[in-house]
Amino acid sequence: MRFIEEVVVDEFLPTVRSMLAEDLRERGFTQLEVADALGISQSAVSKYAAGDVARHDRIVADERVLDLVERVGEGLASGDLTPVGALVEIEVLIRQLEEGDLLADLHEEAMPALADADVEFSVHDPDSGLRERERVLTSVRRGLRTLTNASGFAGLIPNVGANVAECLADAATVDDVAAVPGRLVDVKGRAMVPGEPEFGVSEHVATVLLAAREGGAAVRGAVNLRYDPETVAALGESHPTVEFDAERPTREAVADAVSAADLPADADGVVVYQTGAVGVEPIVYVLAPTAAGAARIVRGLL
């Protein structure tokens, strides 16, 4: 008797860890850094590097595994993907391959009687909320890196600070929006990030993002900037711009303004802004399908 979990432990994980270790080493990681990233010992990394761990040829050749190794390796190397995020990505692929796919086939080869048995391997949902949350956090990190590495971005930060945010697909409240706790601020010409992205930590930018979605904008990511007519004009050359009334409650004002704008169906982003009111700083919000996408639009200004 052999369980499919044994196929995962004995065949899949050693193969994928070996491939990831090789990928990270090629990206310049030391053995210690590889060990830390993968949560394994340095001696295990040494065995992988020396080819002392057998790889399963069918797993190595699978395009989805190759894509996973490339995606996770790049994410770990850039810092866009945490070890937890990498674990989630690997776990999800395992569940997919168990569902009547590669791992199920290998299991049936190990247990031929299963091929004729009426058995279903229904396990974890590949489209789990955990996976989506990790992907949103990864997108916010990528957007942050795009902006903080861009010369001149600090000059676009408003007095109240900037943020980079992205929401879940079915977001309803600020708790469904990931952003930087606190806000990005200009410190001697550099944008300083106070902490790692989290969900539920940016009420203001999250409110604007959610309101724009209510108004019909197909967006999930946002970056807010210092208001300047020239900035709005530059952004308006490639994206619809929508002004809202700063004297009204933000969520209502943004939703109504976006709804009335009748945005093009193919718009890959929208710019909403307000020109200020008593005690309210004028601000521009760049909205896009992802946080990383919004950051790229902003970078185009620099």
Considering the domain architecture, whether residues 199 and 82 belong to the same structural domain is answered as no
Considering the domain architecture, whether residues 110 and 150 belong to the same structural domain is answered as no
The answer, yes or no, to whether residue 170 has pLDDT greater than 80, is: yes
pLDDT at 114: 55
The answer, yes or no, to whether residue 88 has pLDDT greater than 70, is: yes
* Percent of the chain scoring above 70 in pLDDT: 93
- Given pLDDT bands bounded at 50, 70 and 90, which one contains residue 138? very high
The answer, yes or no, to whether residue 120 has pLDDT greater than 50, is: no
Considering the domain architecture, whether residues 61 and 157 belong to the same structural domain is answered as no
CATH of the domain at 221: 3.40.225.10
Considering the domain architecture, whether residues 83 and 108 belong to the same structural domain is answered as yes
Question: pLDDT tens, 95-107?
Answer: 888 876 888 788 7
What mean pLDDT is predicted for residues 278-285? Answer: 96
Residues with Cβ within 8 Å of 273's Cβ and at least 6 positions away in sequence, in order, are 227, 232, 241, 242, 243, 244, 282, 283, 284, 285
Structurally, the chain folds into a number of domains equal to 2
Cα–Cα distance, 82 to 104 (Å, whole number):
29
Considering the domain architecture, whether residues 221 and 141 belong to the same structural domain is answered as yes
The answer, yes or no, to whether residue 168 has pLDDT greater than 90, is: yes
Considering the domain architecture, whether residues 91 and 165 belong to the same structural domain is answered as no
> Does residue 183 lie in a domain region?
yes
pLDDT at 127: 53
Considering the domain architecture, whether residues 191 and 70 belong to the same structural domain is answered as no
Cα–Cα distance, 192 to 91 (Å, whole number):
34
Strands 241-243 and 270-274: parallel
Considering the domain architecture, whether residues 219 and 91 belong to the same structural domain is answered as no
What mean pLDDT is predicted for residues 180-199? Answer: 93
Of 80-84, 94-98, 159-163, 239-243, minimum mean pLDDT range: 94-98
Give me the chain's average pLDDT, please: 89
pLDDT at 276: 94
Residues with Cβ within 8 Å of 213's Cβ and at least 6 positions away in sequence, in order, are 167, 171, 219, 220
Q: Domain range spanning residue 161?
A: 129-300
pLDDT at 7: 79
The answer, yes or no, to whether residue 246 has pLDDT greater than 90, is: yes
What mean pLDDT is predicted for residues 240-256? Answer: 97
User: What are 17's two structure tokens?
Assistant: 């860890």
Considering the domain architecture, whether residues 260 and 133 belong to the same structural domain is answered as yes
Q: What is the 3-state secondary structure (H, E, C) of the chain?
A: CCCHHHHHHHHHHHHHHHHHHHHHHHCCCCHHHHHHHHCCCHHHHHHHHHCCCCCCHHHHHCHHHHHHHHHHHHHHHHCCCCHHHHHHHHHHHHHHHHCCCHHHHHHHHHCHHHHHCCCCCCCCCCCCHHHHHHHHHHHHHHHHHHHHCCCCHHHHCCCCCECEEEECCCCCCHHHEEECCCCEEEECCEEECCCCCEECCCHHHHHHHHHHHHCCCCCCEEEEEECCHHHHHHHHCCCCEEECCCCCCHHHHHHHHHHHHCCCCCCCCEEEEECCECCECCEEEEEECCHHHHHHHHHCCC
